[in-house]
Every structure is written in structure tokens, then in C-alpha cells.
């Protein structure tokens, strides 16, 4: 039901019959599936995005499984893609990280893979930083000690270790979540740090394994949040895939904007 409502929304958007399209029907259907989002209060765009992607993945994976069963019953070769949990969502948005965990006693190295659709990046400054600074912070090695020690299979006990993440599979579309809501002095606050992000030639190869291909990206959309923890307003900047023009989406106001306006202090989600 949610996938159908989403399909109708996208169809209405691209028909070009209206100056703007209200997502009211999709929101109503989404609220039935996720009651917490049905209330007319502010919710987190990143949490909303993950719920939408997860639900669409499950819907499309189920359709693909049915199609494969149909082919199999007709005597055609059935695809094994559905059994591995793939869908158009995973094909577009899913990447793979590998966490290299090294025991500091015996130097044994363990690789632990993890799939992702959104990378949540820490903001290492309170004033100005770059997306590259955020990536460096995310991918820098960390040391696991005390309560975070690992149980080393080779040593047979709990040991200190280092852990370092690297990208082993880069998705076609990578989504960065800037962690603007953070704890400071025992209080949760929003960071208003200016994060400078490139429009093109974003190279993720320094954070990827040698076997990882297609690590260069261009910006295609930005979700902005203006306001504080408990109130605010979301807007979006999106690049038209054909005209290459940027547009601002602010409720019923859809306007073309210059490239210079896309760099905003309110950026919360970045789509490359």
C-alpha cells in the first residue's frame, strides 16, 4: 500500500500538470504504517527516509520474489536475487562497509562487513568545516578499550583493539546524514556548523578498498533543516537530471535557484 502511494506521488510529480504536488495521500498512508509519524509534529527527516527506503525495499523485494516464482512455474530460469534480499532500493542506495578490527595483543585482523543506506557523519567543528573533514572523522581509526574490548578468538580473552572502517562497495547513490543533533555539556543541542560540500568530483577512494570501483560522485539533492530541536522547517534543493538546473522545494513554493544558493548552512542530508 505504501509503495503504491509513493508511486502515485512520483507519477503526479513528473506529469508536470501542477505547479506543486501535495504529498497528503502518501503521508496518510505512511501514518497508518508508522503511527508515530501521523501526528502533526516535527519528526526527524533521516528517520523518515530510512523508514521509507526500508518499506519500499520490502515491497519491491516481495514483487520480485513473486515474479521469479512465476517464471519458475513457467519453466524459465528463476533469478536468485530475491533470496539475497535485493531490490531496486538496494541496487541504488545500498553500500558495504568493512570494519577491520585488529587485536593489539596478537595483531590478528578480523573483517566485519556491514551494509548501509545512510552514512551518519559526525561534525568535528562548531563553526566551519568541510564534508571532507566529516568523512575523515568518520573513517579515522578508533581504539577499543575497557568496556569496549573485543573477545579475540586467537588470544582467547578480552583484548584492546583498533577498528577502522572502509568502503568495500560504493552505492550508486550515497546519502550522508550530518549529525547536527548532538550532546553538549549534558544537553542535546543542534549544531549550526557551516559544512562546505562539493557539487562535483567528490572522491571517496581514500576511504575505500582497492577493489571498490566508481567512487566519484556529484551532488544531486540536499535536505535542509531550519530551526531547533523541537521545532523547525524542512526544505529541499534538487537538481533536475535533464536540465541540470537546481530547484528549491519549500512547501507550495517551487522555484529555480542559482548554483550558489545550494550551499546552505542548514544542510542536513546530502544526496550524491
Over the stretch 122-175, which tens digit does the pLDDT of each residue have? Answer: 999 889 999 999 999 999 999 999 999 999 999 889 999 999 999 999 999 999
Based on the fold, state whether residues 129 and 245 are members of the same structural domain.
yes
Does 15 reside within a domain? yes
Instruction: Give whole-number Cα distances, 212 to 6, 95, 110, 124, 135, in Å.
Output: 32, 11, 19, 27, 17
Which comes out higher in pLDDT, residue 229 or 262?
Answer: 262
pLDDT digits (tens, 9 = 90+) for 165-223: 999 999 999 999 999 987 767 777 889 999 999 999 999 999 999 999 889 999 999 99
DSSP H helical ranges for the chain: 2-15, 24-33, 45-73, 88-93, 131-139
Q: What is the pTM of this model?
A: 0.89
Based on the fold, state whether residues 40 and 122 are members of the same structural domain.
no
Based on the fold, state whether residues 135 and 53 are members of the same structural domain.
no
pLDDT digits (tens, 9 = 90+) for 5-48: 999 999 999 898 888 999 999 999 999 999 999 877 888 999 99
- What band does 69 get if pLDDT is binned at 50, 70 and 90? low
Based on the fold, state whether residues 254 and 175 are members of the same structural domain.
yes
pLDDT score of 251 more than 90: yes
Q: In this predicted structure, what is the pLDDT of residue 219? A: 98
Q: Are 99 and 114 in contact (CB under 8 A)?
A: yes
Q: In this predicted structure, what is the pLDDT of residue 175? A: 98
Q: In this predicted structure, what is the pLDDT of residue 9? A: 96
For the chain, how many structural domains are there in total? 2
Does 103 reside within a domain? no
pLDDT score of 259 more than 90: yes
What is the mean predicted confidence (pLDDT) over 103-109?
94
Instruction: Give whole-number Cα distances, 155 to 104, 113, 145, 233, in Å.
Output: 10, 22, 16, 53
Residue 194: which CATH number? 3.90.70.10
Q: Which residues contact 196 (CB under 8 A, 6 or more apart)?
A: 128, 129, 130, 131, 263
pLDDT score of 63 more than 90: no
- What band does 80 get if pLDDT is binned at 50, 70 and 90? very low
Amino acid at each position: 500500500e505504501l509503495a503504491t502511494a509513493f508511486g502515485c506521488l512520483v507519477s503526479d510529480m513528473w506529469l508536470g500538470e501542477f505547479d506543486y504536488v501535495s504529498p497528503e495521500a502518501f503521508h496518510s498512508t505512511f501514518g497508518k504504517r508508522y503511527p508515530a509519524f501521523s501526528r502533526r509534529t516535527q519528526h526527524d527527516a533521516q528517520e523518515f527516509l530510512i523508514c521509507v527506503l526500508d518499506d519500499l525495499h520490502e515491497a519491491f523485494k516481495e514483487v520480485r520474489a513473486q515474479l521469479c516464482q512465476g517464471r519458475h512455474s513457467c519453466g524459465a530460469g528463476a533469478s536468485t536475487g530475491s533470496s539475497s534480499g535485493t531490490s531496486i532500493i538496494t541496487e541504488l542506495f545500498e553500500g558495504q562497509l568493512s570494519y577491520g578490527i585488529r587485536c593489539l595483543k596478537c595483531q590478528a585482523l578480523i573483517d566485519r562487513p556491514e551494509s548501509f543506506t545512510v552514512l551518519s557523519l559526525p561534525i568535528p567543528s562548531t563553526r566551519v568545516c568541510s564534508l571532507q573533514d566529516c568523512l575523515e572523522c568518520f573513517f579515522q581509526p578508533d581504539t577499543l578499550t575497557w568496556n569496549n574490548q573485543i573477545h579475540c578468538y586467537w588470544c582467547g580473552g578480552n583484548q584492546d583493539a583498533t577498528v577502522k572502517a572502509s568502503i568495500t562497495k560504493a552505492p550508486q547513490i550515497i546519502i550522508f546524514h550530518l549529525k547536527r543533533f548532538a550532546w553538549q555539556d549534558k544537553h542535546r543541542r543542534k549544531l549550526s556548523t557551516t559544512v562546505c560540500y562539493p557539487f562535483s568530483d567528490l572522491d571517496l577512494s581514500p576511504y575505500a578498498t582497492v577493489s571498490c570501483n566508481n567512487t566519484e560522485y556529484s551532488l544531486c539533492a540536499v535536505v535542509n533543516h531550519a530551526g531547533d530541536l523541537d521545532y523547525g522547517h524542512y526544505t529541499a534543493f534538487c537538481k533536475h537530471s535533464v536540465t541540470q538546473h537546481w530547484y528549491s522545494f519549500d512547501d507550495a513554493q517551487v522555484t529555480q535557484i542559482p548554483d550558489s544558493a545550494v550551499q546552505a548552512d542548514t544542510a542536513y542530508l546530502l544526496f550524491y
